[in-house]
């Protein structure tokens, strides 16, 4: 039986980043097991928007590091450039007071921001139409990544660092003995390892529930669209337009990328390991709703119909925060999942933190609040039994 | 309490060894019952004590004050925590547990229950090593500065089907490394601060972590190296199977764990003592082998009956496991590991 020091399950951005940071720390025998090609999950479908201005201290501190790491990777990875355009978070008068309460947190954590009233917004981005009463919270360090650049570039780098990526290898179970993880079963036979890191996102409970350790996580269908190239692409940051229930950002080749929530849909239950995101469909007509709504905000979009659509899953935990770290009940098992709608934004640091947990047993940023052990088994069981509509999940963007 | 009433969990080679000690040799102790393992009924019959179906039955007995746990490593945590909850004192075979997290939880459980918890480290009680420790305590070589240890063998002696060869048992780095690290700390007489190590398994597919080279620094400035391998080409090094050099300010100890103990001081070497040969397989209950085990069980019994502090406290078992974990983490990344982070 082949022996790895660390097996990483899932070749999305979280798994790739974990492998990258483990390899950078000197770990030699690292294997990623991915049931499809690399990036077959949500990672290649993401909008790739990132802001550092989240809602909890560990989140803000972790994102600050993620923003640094995106910039470092932008230098290091061939074929990937971080879109350092800033990130603008927009709030209507009803939602702003809640966010304003978080400003002391940003000050304390050293996360820079700018507050812009409607007039200031209009002066700064004249190509956009801001409704009266909007407040802008601008993150000068935010921006975006193009997943179709980032994912293959990171996978290439990870291979260069000596990591084995086994595509088209499905993990069918996590092997335990004597109360600890000793490896996995795959479609290709058993593999032994000292540590197993599960970064399988929407598929997480298919591997954890059989161990009696399900997590209270739920997935929802989400979709984003890319326009045809615009004749005169306007200058704009990555924008979380909360009042429009969506987001928009510049995209490659003078295009725009936008995404929107579909509040009326129930959760999506992933019932089998073989499930692929290609089976998902956006709600009928949502592309037109998105186009209408955002053309009013970004008039340049009006003449540029959607060229492509991507549909994937967003996975949330019951309290809205990521689930990341060692599983106390099963030494040797680590998980990283449920990054609300910001798993792409988290990935450079979620991988770093998982690598630190695996190789050093502790992290350079205190993310104990993300521990998988924070949920009571009874609450998890109850949460998993309920059907949660999308409007009821903790509404947190990127 | 005039006599400590003891139950044994585990009926393998070590369970049988401790049963022989307690039933036939220890003072102020009574063997009451044995549970666990396929050989338990026969072992209980040998000593005319009760055979119980499982650990729960043992913990439930009112006529048992203390349990000696000699089961596979992966069971140690669960059984210790449950024994403590049942109000039993615990003497636990090494390694204390496969992870430091488990050690911490076991120590906490025993503290909560107010029971004595000691860990078996029989090498400390073995002939040449125990005499070396006494010489160091008596100042024979001054303060210890440098230590070199070697445990080298051509094989583990463990069959691939045996539980100790299974991955959850932590490999030889845990099995033997916890002994080596404990002895090195006992020689140093100081707390280990940092460890860096290479750990490899060059050959045998079923066994893990068979070879390791570690470098350790101590709080008082002492330093140590430990080389462990169970994959030496035959005939290996018959005279160097388990050997330590301990260098102090004024002298050197050359300690063959199963041979001679020599003291180099004042310009000359002197043989202090020589271990008579042990026949591990054919005559396991001869005093020459049993001595070290007997001395450890007697210390545990006396500690409890006389209200003395623990001879081998559980925190020292934890320390050895932390060094094993530190060595593995260091091997994983090549970085030096600060032991207070574990
Ligand atoms: C339309 C859309 C837009 C988004 N926009 C943004 C955004 O702007 N910013 C942002 O930060 N986030 C965004 N997200 C969220 C982001 O995509 C995810 O949070 C992130 O990609 C999660 O990465 P991951 O590696 O954890 O999971 P995934 O990329 O889903 O990777 C999991 C992998 O595990 C594999 N796998 C599953 N089960 C097994 C098994 N048993 N054996 C082997 N392999 C297995 C899957 O094939 C998959 O490749 C968006 C998501 C969607 C759908």
Residues A6, A12, A17, A20, CA torsion sign: positive
The reported pLDDT for the residue numbered A29 is: 92
Query: Per the domain annotation, does A271 fall within a domain?
Result: yes
The reported pLDDT for the residue numbered B56 is 98
Instruction: Please state, in angstroms and rounded to a whole number, the distance separating the CA atoms of residues A131 and A241.
Output: 11
- Confidence category of residue A141, pLDDT binned at 50, 70, 90: very high
Indicate the CATH number for domain B4-122+292-312.
3.40.50.720
Count of structural domains within chain A = 1
Structure tokens at B170: 């932590």
Under 8 Å between Cβ of B151 and B244:
no
Mean pLDDT of A365-382: 97
Sequence ranges of chain B with CATH classification 3.40.50.720:
4-122+292-312
| C-beta of residue B193 within 8 angstroms of C-beta of residue B219 | yes
Give me the mean pLDDT over the A374-394 stretch: 88
3-state secondary structure chain B: CCCEEEEEECCCHHHHHHHHHHHHHCCCEEEEEEECCCCHHHHHHHHCCEEECCHHHHHHCCCCCEEEECCCHHHHHHHHHHHHHCCCEEEECCCCCCCHHHHHHHHHHHHHHCCCEEECCHHHHCHHHHHHHHHHHCCCCCCEEEEEEEEECCCCCCCCCCHHHCHHHCHHHHHCHHHHHHHHHHHHCCCEEEEEEEEECCCCCCCCCCEEEEEEEECCCCEEEEEEECCCCCCCCHHHCEEEEEEECCEEEEEECCCEEEEEECCEEEEEEECCCCCCCCCCCCHHHHHHHHHHHHHHHHHHHCCCCCCCEHHHHHHHHHHHHHHHHHHHHCCCEEHHHC
> Does A355 reside within a domain?
yes
Q: What is the DSSP letter of A372?
A: G
Q: CB–CB of B99/B322 below 8 Å? A: no
Q: Which CATH architecture has domain B123-283+320-341?
A: 2-Layer Sandwich (3.30)
What is the b/e burial string over B256-267, where b = at least 16 CB atoms within 10 angstroms of the residue's CB?
A: bbbbebbbebee
Give how far B324 is from chain A: nearest CA, Å: 13
Distance CA B48, CA B62 (A): 19
- With beta carbons under 8 A apart, name residues in chain B contacting A360: 329, 333, 335, 337, 341
Asked if A5 has any chain B CB less than 8 Å from its own CB, the reply is yes
pLDDT tens, B195-238?
Answer: 999 999 998 667 889 999 999 999 999 999 999 999 999 888 87
The answer as to whether A397 is a domain residue is no
Atom of ligand 1 nearest to the CA of A339: 19
Q: Looking at the partner chain, which of A3, A359, A362 has a beta carbon nearest the beta carbon of B332?
A: A359
SS3 call for A166:
strand
Helix (H) or strand (E) segment spanning residue A220: strand A217-227
Distance from Cα A109 to the centre of ligand 1, integer Å: 28
B333 vs A contacts (CB less than 8 Å): 25-27, 359-360
Bridge partners (DSSP) of residue A185 are A173, A190
Report yes or no: A27 at the B interface, CB cutoff 8 Å.
Answer: yes
Average pLDDT, chain A: 95
Q: Answer yes or no: is A238 within a domain.
A: yes
Q: Do A26 and B334 touch (CB under 8 A)?
A: yes
Confidence of residue B159 (pLDDT cuts 50, 70, 90): confident
pLDDT over 90, % of chain A: 91
Q: What is the pLDDT of residue A1?
A: 47
State the pLDDT at residue B280: 86
Give A129→chain B minimum CA distance, Å: 53
pLDDT average, residue stretch A163-188: 96
How far CA A141 is from CA of A40, A64, A83, in Å, comes to 29, 9, 10
Residue B95: C-alpha distances to residues B75, B98, B165, B178, B322 (Å)? 11, 7, 14, 6, 11
How deeply is B305 buried, as exposed, middle or buried, from its count of CB atoms within 10 A (0-12, 13-18, 19+)? middle
pLDDT tens sequence across A316-370 = 999 999 999 999 999 999 999 999 899 999 999 999 999 999 999 999 999 999 9
CB B278 within 8 A of CB B291: no
Task: Output the CA–CA distances (angstroms, integers) from residue A93 to A51, A133, A244, in the order listed.
Answer: 21, 6, 13
Examine the pLDDT at A262 and tell me if it is beyond 80.
no
Does residue A144 form part of some domain? yes
Least confident of A29-38, A237-246, A263-272, B208-217: A263-272
What is the reported pLDDT for A394? 60
Length of chain A: 398
- CA A105/CA A100 separation, integer angstroms: 10
Spatial separation of the C-alpha atoms in residues B196 and B212, rounded to whole Å? 10
pLDDT digits (tens, 9 = 90+) for A263-312: 778 899 999 999 999 999 999 999 999 999 999 999 999 999 999 999 99
């574990």: which residue's tokens? B342
DSSP secondary structure code for residue A35 in this structure: S
- Element housing A120 (H / E): helix A118-124
Terminal CA-to-CA distance of chain A, rounded, Å? 41
Which of A2, A176, A191, A360 is the best substitution to test chain B (most B C-beta atoms within 10 A)? A360
Rounded to an integer, the average pLDDT of A52-78 is 97
Ligand 1 close to Cβ of residue A48 (< 6 A): yes
| pLDDT above 70 for B149 | yes
Which of A382 and A261 is assigned the larger pLDDT? A382
pLDDT at residue A388, rounded to an integer: 84
> A233 near A254, Cβ under 8 Å?
yes
Task: Find the Cα–Cα–Cα–Cα dihedral B280, B179, A3, A172, rounded to 10°.
Answer: 100
Mean pLDDT, all residues of chain B: 95
The complex's ipTM works out to 0.82
Residues of CATH 3.30.360.10 domain(s) within chain B?
Answer: 123-283+320-341
Per-residue exposure over B223-235, b if at least 16 CB sit within 10 Å of its own CB, e if not: bbebebbbbbeee
Amino acid A331: pLDDT: 92
Q: How far is A176 from chain B (nearest CA, A)?
A: 8
Strands B29-35, B4-9: pairing is parallel
Q: What's the CATH code of the domain at A292?
A: 3.50.50.60
Query: Tokens standing for A229?
Result: 């190239």
Mean pLDDT value across residues A138-154: 98
Q: Answer whether B7's CB lies under 8 Å from B91's CB.
A: no
Read off the DSSP letter of residue A340: B
The DSSP letter of residue A324 is E
Tens-place pLDDT, residues A5-19: 899 999 999 999 999
Average of pLDDT values for B27-40?
97
Nearest CA in chain B to A331: B99
CA A201 / ligand 1 centre spacing (Å): 6
Residue A105 tokens read as 């947190």
- Quote the domain boundaries for residue A339: 3-392
Q: Is B161 exposed, middle or buried (0-12, 13-18, 19+ CB in 10 A)?
A: exposed
The alpha carbon dihedral of A42, A47, A52, A53 has a sign of negative
Strand partners, B218: B192
In the predicted structure, residue A202 carries a pLDDT above the cut 50: yes
C-alpha A384: how far from chain center: 21
The residue whose CA has the least distance to atom 19 of ligand 1 is: A343
Instruction: Give the 3-state secondary structure of residue A219.
Output: strand
- Buried-exposed string A96-117: b where 16+ CB fall within 10 A, e elsewhere: beebeebeebbeebebebeebe
B291 pLDDT exceeds 70? yes
Cα-to-centroid distance, A268 and ligand 1 (Å): 14
**Is residue A186 included in any domain, yes or no?**
yes
| Collapsed DSSP state (helix, strand, coil) of residue A128 | coil
How many residues does this entry show for chain B? 342
Report residue B47 as tokens. Answer: 């000593």
User: Does the Cβ of A314 fall within 6 Å of ligand 1?
Assistant: yes
Task: Place B170 in a pLDDT band, splitting at 50, 70 and 90.
Answer: confident
Structure tokens at A25: 């720390």
Q: Measuring CA to CA, which residue among A309, A284, A294, A172 is closest to residue A245?
A: A294
Contacts of B328 in chain A (CB under 8 A): 194
Give yes or no for residue A200 having a pLDDT over 50.
Answer: yes
Q: Answer whether residue A83 shows pLDDT above 80.
A: yes
Kind and range of the H or E element at A354?
Answer: helix A343-360
> Residue for token digits 């990132």?
A50
Quick one: average pLDDT of B51-58? 97
Inter-residue contact A191 to A2 (CB < 8 Å): yes
Buried b (16+ CB within 10 A) or exposed e, A325-334: bbbeebbbbb
Q: Which of A302-311, B21-30, B133-142, B198-207 is the least confident region?
A: B198-207
Q: Looking at the partner chain, which of B101, B205, B337 has a beta carbon nearest the beta carbon of A331? A: B101
CA distance A56 to A49: 18
Average pLDDT over every residue of B137-143:
98
Contact A111, A60 (CB under 8 A): yes
């Amino acid at each position: 039986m082949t022996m790895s020091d660390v097996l990483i399950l899932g070749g999305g951005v979280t798994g790739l980043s974990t492998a990258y940071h483990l390899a950078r720390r000197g770990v030699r025998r690292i294997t990623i097991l991915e049931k499809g090609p690399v990036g077959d999950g949500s990672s290649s479908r993401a909008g790739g928007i990132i802001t550092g201005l989240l809602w909890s201290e560990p989140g803000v501190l972790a994102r600050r590091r993620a923003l640094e790491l995106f910039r470092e990777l932008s230098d290091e990875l061939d074929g990937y450039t971080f879109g350092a355009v800033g990130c603008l978070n927009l709030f209507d008068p009803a939602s702003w007071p809640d966010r304003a309460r978080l400003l002391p947190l940003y000050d304390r954590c050293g996360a820079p921001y700018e507050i812009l009233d409607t007039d200031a917004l209009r002066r700064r981005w004249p190509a956009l139409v801001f409704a009266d009463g909007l407040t802008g919270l601008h993150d000068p360090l935010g921006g975006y990544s193009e997943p179709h650049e980032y994912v293959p570039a990171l996978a290439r780098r990870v291979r260069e660092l000596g990591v084995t990526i086994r595509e088209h290898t499905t993990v069918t179970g996590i092997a335990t003995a004597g109360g600890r993880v000793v490896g996995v079963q795959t479609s290709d036979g058993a593999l032994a390892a000292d540590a197993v890191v599960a970064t399988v996102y929407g598929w997480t409970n298919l591997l954890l529930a059989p161990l009696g350790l399900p997590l209270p996580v739920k997935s929802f269908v989400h979709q984003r669209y890319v326009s045809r190239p615009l004749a005169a692409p306007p200058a704009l940051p990555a924008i979380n337009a909360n009042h429009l229930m969506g987001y928009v950002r510049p995209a490659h080749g003078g295009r725009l990328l936008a995404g929107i929530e579909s509040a009326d849909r129930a959760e999506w239950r992933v019932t089998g390991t073989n499930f692929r995101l290609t089976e998902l469909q956006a709600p009928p007509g949502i592309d037109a709703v998105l186009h209408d709504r955002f053309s009013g905000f970004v008039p340049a979009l009006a003449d540029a119909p959607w060229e492509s659509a991507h549909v994937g899953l967003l996975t949330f935990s019951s309290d809205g925060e990521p689930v990341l770290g060692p599983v106390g009940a099963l030494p040797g098992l680590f998980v990283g999942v449920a990054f609300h709608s910001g798993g792409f934004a988290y990935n450079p640091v979620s991988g770093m933190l998982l690598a630190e947990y695996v190789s050093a047993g502790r992290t350079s940023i205190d993310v104990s609040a993300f521990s998988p052990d924070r949920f009571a088994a009874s609450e998890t069981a109850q949460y998993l039994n309920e059907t949660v509509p999308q409007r009821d999940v903790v509404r947190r963007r990127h | 309490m005039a006599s400590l009433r003891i139950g044994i969990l585990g009926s393998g080679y070590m369970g049988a060894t401790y049963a022989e000690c307690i039933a036939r040799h220890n003072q102020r102790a009574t063997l009451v019952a044995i549970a666990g393992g396929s050989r338990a009924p026969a072992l209980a019959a040998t000593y005319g004590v009760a055979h119980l179906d499982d650990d729960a039955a043992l913990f439930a007995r009112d006529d048992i004050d203390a349990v000696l746990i000699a089961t596979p490593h992966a069971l140690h945590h669960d059984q210790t925590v449950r024994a403590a909850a049942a109000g039993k004192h615990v003497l636990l075979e090494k390694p204390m547990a496969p992870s430091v997290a488990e050690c911490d939880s076991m120590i906490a459980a025993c503290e909560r229950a107010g029971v004595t918890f000691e860990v078996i480290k029989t090498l400390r009680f073995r002939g040449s090593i125990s005499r070396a420790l006494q010489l160091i305590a008596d100042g024979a070589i001054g303060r210890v500065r440098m230590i070199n240890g070697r445990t080298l063998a051509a094989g583990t002696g463990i069959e691939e089907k045996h539980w100790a060869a299974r991955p959850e048992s932590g490999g030889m780095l845990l099995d033997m490394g916890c002994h080596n690290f404990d002895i090195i700390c006992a020689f140093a007489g100081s707390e280990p601060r940092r460890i860096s190590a290479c750990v490899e398994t060059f050959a045998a597919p079923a066994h893990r972590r068979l070879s390791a080279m570690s470098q350790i620094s101590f709080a008082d400035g002492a330093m140590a190296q430990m080389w462990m391998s169970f994959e030496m080409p035959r005939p290996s090094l018959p005279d160097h199977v388990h050997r330590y050099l301990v260098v102090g300010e004024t002298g050197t100890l050359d300690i063959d764990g199963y041979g001679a103990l020599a003291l180099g001081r004042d310009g000359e070497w002197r043989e202090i003592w020589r271990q008579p040969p042990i026949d591990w397989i054919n005559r396991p209950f001869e005093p020459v082998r049993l001595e070290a085990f007997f001395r450890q069980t007697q210390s545990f019994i006396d500690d409890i009956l006389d209200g003395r502090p623990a001879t081998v406290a559980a925190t020292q078992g934890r320390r050895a496991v932390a060094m094993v974990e530190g060595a593995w983490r260091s091997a994983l990344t090549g970085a030096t590991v600060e032991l207070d982070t574990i």
